Amino acid sequence: MPRTRPRGEPEHASRATGSAALPLAGAVAGGVALALESVVNGRLGEHAGSVAAATWSNMLSLSVVVGAAVFLTALRPAFAALRAALQSGALRPRHCLGGVAGGSMILTQALTAAPLGPASYTLALVSGQTLCGVLVDHLGLGPGAPHPATRRRLVGGLLSVCAVALPVLAAPDAGRTLALAALPFLAGAALSWQMAVNGRVDEAAGRHPYPAVLLSFATGSALMLAAAAALAVLGRLPAPRSGPPWHYTGGLLGCVVVLSAVLAVRRIGVLAAGLGMVGGQVLGSLVLGPLMGQPPPHLWAVVIGAVLLIVAAVMAAPSAPARSAPGPLPPLLTVHPPADGPDGGGK
């Protein structure tokens, strides 16, 4: 028997709820992948050096993304739309540099994730992500209309800072932990900006995620290669020691993180996608710490901080959507009509 729509309910309400559930679940999965990526890259950084680990992770991601082009269609129209948006000024060159923020975040993973532990690292990262997300939405840097920074949202952003301060100050070496936590906090702020500009690139490319993902890893890899080359010239690039194969899989997880963020921002906006990633990151970090033999020294402080952080993220969320829910999207591999005939044209 077909479901009867309640009187007064808009016709698109159930469709909007259903269409938001899948991208929100994808954002949560991306957050879990990000928590695991921080563990993997942190372990690699311990025996390969932070810059070398970040360079390898970015290059592996870029290789996977370039290889994926063989299986995708409608790439030529997507890049043509992106080029047209840049030429018309609808998209600025800075919007194509989201990978710089991504590369810096991977660098902080390799540098600080292992000494901080998964839980404290994730709380610091998400705190910066939440606080900066309020500013990103206020300025309208992502796709869609701006969300004003109301008093409630500002309080939520400041509460996120308090959430990470509790476990950091409860650590045995609070001073050193605070200095280390500042780096993932700044990386989290950069992550919010990266999600916003990648969403703009995705929108300009006609809602084909490939250009945004490719540019993200290409610019991040270029940044890390330049840093590694500088260290090599100075003779300060450490020789990597052998490690288990799973230490080198961070780049694969990075592909999952960036792609899920691009697709989620497209459908539910920067803040809602960020909230999903917050939940996934916090859940993943609380589970991964004990599993990896690195439980936080003060579990009570971490749990309280995680609860405060989720409350802060909810408070920082916009009270109303910036735009009406979009209709169903076409499949990923057929976002654009073929350019050169029925076989899909050039890639």
| For residues 150-166, average pLDDT | 75
Burial (CB < 10 A; 0-12, 13-18, 19+), residue 42, is buried
| For residues 239-265, average pLDDT | 86
Distance CA 203, CA 226 (A): 30
Question: pLDDT tens digit string along 266-281?
Answer: 777 766 777 778 778 8
pLDDT of residue 162 exceeding 80: no
pLDDT of residue 237 exceeding 80: no
Distance CA 260, CA 191 (A): 13
> pLDDT: is 313 or 247 the higher one?
247
pLDDT of residue 340 exceeding 50: no
Question: pLDDT tens digit string along 169-195?
Answer: 666 676 777 888 889 999 988 988 998
At 330 the pLDDT is: 40
Buried b (16+ CB within 10 A) or exposed e, 171-204: beeeeebbebbebbbbbbbbbbbbbbbbbbbbbb
Q: What is the mean pLDDT of the chain?
A: 78
Distance CA 209, CA 120 (A): 31
pLDDT of residue 339 exceeding 50: no
pLDDT band of residue 2 (cuts 50, 70, 90) is very low
pLDDT band of residue 317 (cuts 50, 70, 90) is low
pLDDT over 90, % of the chain: 20
At 67 the pLDDT is: 93
**Biggest alpha carbon distance in the chain?**
73
Residue type at 43?
Answer: R
